[in-house]
Amino acid sequence: MCFSLQQPYQVDPCTDGRGPQYGYNLCNATTQNQESLCQTIYLNDISDFCVWGPPLPNTNVSDAEGYEVAWCSKDGHGTRLIPEGALTGAQILRTPNYIQIVGFIDQTMINMVADDEGGELDGRGQDNRGNPMGGLAYTNAYNGSNTTYFQILNWQWFMGSDMFCAKICPGAAYDPDAYAYCFNQDDEVGCNYNTPNNAQNGTFESCDADNALPVGLYVVDGVTSTWTQGFTGFASIPYTPIPPSSSNCVTYQSAALFTDLVGVLPSSIPASLTQSSYFGTSTGAGGSVPTGNGGSPGTTAGGSSPSTTGKSAALAGPSSFAGIPVVGMGLLAIVAGLFVIV
């Protein structure tokens, strides 16, 4: 178990097993570029969200799941930006127990192989260290203010087939509702089953919605049954997922949503680079190294104070939100069973 008494540069610097993590979590203006290795991700609203993608071009998710990096739709998070034109549609649903987004993307523009069917990224992984290892998820969607971020312990992102989907569930790591609605073991059935939706390519839409049934639960003739993927694959699925009822839907034009992406190009990292030559062999970390304060979602004792408004705002005090609040100058970063406390 590794601990840090400062805001962590990496939440998982442990060298045993798969470690250390390749990227970093202390992300700010000094890491905001198309070679960033930031591994802190956000899901805030239809205009402000991130996806996971490989750091190197022409890479399959299955090869890069342990070291993928954040690509975001707004600047200010210290990450790479999703290139202009890559996003072609998205639907975000705000439900009583979770927030989810399902969208369409030219995945080659975020370094994925064109025909890659992809896979799941989540906060646990095969060893409770997450995929990507050390990846963190935050949101400001639960308190009515964009100045306070909360760490989300139950989260999942799927990438592949020119689609993405994500779901975040507030609550403790093994809160029954959060664990059920963000259940991350049915990784082979993709977005349609894990995030039932009515997303349409070419439309950007934000809605309120009821909860969908957790993945694996289905009702036939009034009887609720359970299906489990298992660990050795499956021949068929006995049900078709039903998207939840939605209301208060608002549609947007992409030009109004993604002003920060105008002129943003894909990563300029040469496709000929290999993982070992890019990351090196000593610490595993490559790309830009952060300096100064942590920006969003935190600050560090030695850095300058961040802005008090907007996407790089300082983090406000305690809230009644059932997640993990990031309070004042400190950061409590948790990766499944790994706790890094500052």
Q: Give me the pLDDT at residue 125, please.
A: 82
| Mean pLDDT, range 30-42, rounded to an integer | 97
| Mean pLDDT, range 226-232, rounded to an integer | 77
Q: Give me the pLDDT at residue 287, please.
A: 44
| Mean pLDDT, range 99-122, rounded to an integer | 97
Confidence band, pLDDT 50/70/90 cuts, at residue 333: low
Q: Residue 129 and residue 286: Cα distance in Å, rounded?
A: 20
| Mean pLDDT, range 171-197, rounded to an integer | 86
Q: Give me the pLDDT at residue 261, please.
A: 99
Q: Residue 211 and residue 243: Cα distance in Å, rounded?
A: 9
| Mean pLDDT, range 122-131, rounded to an integer | 88
pLDDT digits (tens, 9 = 90+) for 86-105: 999 999 999 999 999 999 99
Handedness of CA 94, 98, 102, 108 (dihedral sign): positive
Q: Is the pLDDT of residue 15 over 70?
A: yes
Residue 81, classed as helix, strand or coil, is strand
Q: 109-126 burial, b for 16+ CB within 10 Å, e for fewer?
A: bbbbbeebebbbbbbbbe
pLDDT digits (tens, 9 = 90+) for 43-58: 999 999 999 999 999 9
Q: Residue type at 63? A: D
Q: Give me the pLDDT at residue 271, please.
A: 64
Q: Give me the pLDDT at residue 341, please.
A: 31
Confidence band, pLDDT 50/70/90 cuts, at residue 324: very low
Q: Which tokens in the block code for residue 242?
A: 């039903």
Q: Give me the pLDDT at residue 294, please.
A: 42
Q: What's the chain's average pLDDT?
A: 81
Q: Where are the domains of the chain?
A: 29-211+243-341
Q: Give me the pLDDT at residue 22, please.
A: 95
Q: Give me the pLDDT at residue 186, please.
A: 75
Q: How many CB atoms lie within 10 A of CB 184?
A: 20
Q: Residue 211 and residue 244: Cα distance in Å, rounded?
A: 6
Confidence band, pLDDT 50/70/90 cuts, at residue 319: very low
Q: How many CB atoms lie within 10 A of CB 35?
A: 15
288 vs 194, higher pLDDT: 194
- Cβ-Cβ contacts under 8 Å for 340 (sequence gap 6 or more): 2, 3, 4, 8, 11, 12, 332, 333, 334
Q: Is the pLDDT of residue 189 over 90?
A: no
Q: Residue 157 and residue 178: Cα distance in Å, rounded?
A: 15
Min mean pLDDT across 16-20, 243-247, 249-253 is at: 16-20
Q: Give me the pLDDT at residue 277, please.
A: 56
Q: Give me the pLDDT at residue 66, please.
A: 96
Q: Give me the pLDDT at residue 326, please.
A: 42
Share of the chain above pLDDT 90, in %: 61
Q: Is the pLDDT of residue 318 over 50?
A: no
Q: Strand (E) positions, 162-301?
A: 163-169, 204-209, 217-220, 223-226, 246-252
Q: Give me the pLDDT at residue 247, please.
A: 98
Q: Residue type at 298? A: G
Q: Residue 280 and residue 48: Cα distance in Å, rounded?
A: 32
- The answer to whether 28 and 295 are in contact (CB under 8 A) is yes
Q: What angle do CA 30, 35, 37 make, to 5 degrees?
A: 75
- Please confirm whether the linkage preceding 20 is cis (ω < 30° from 0): yes
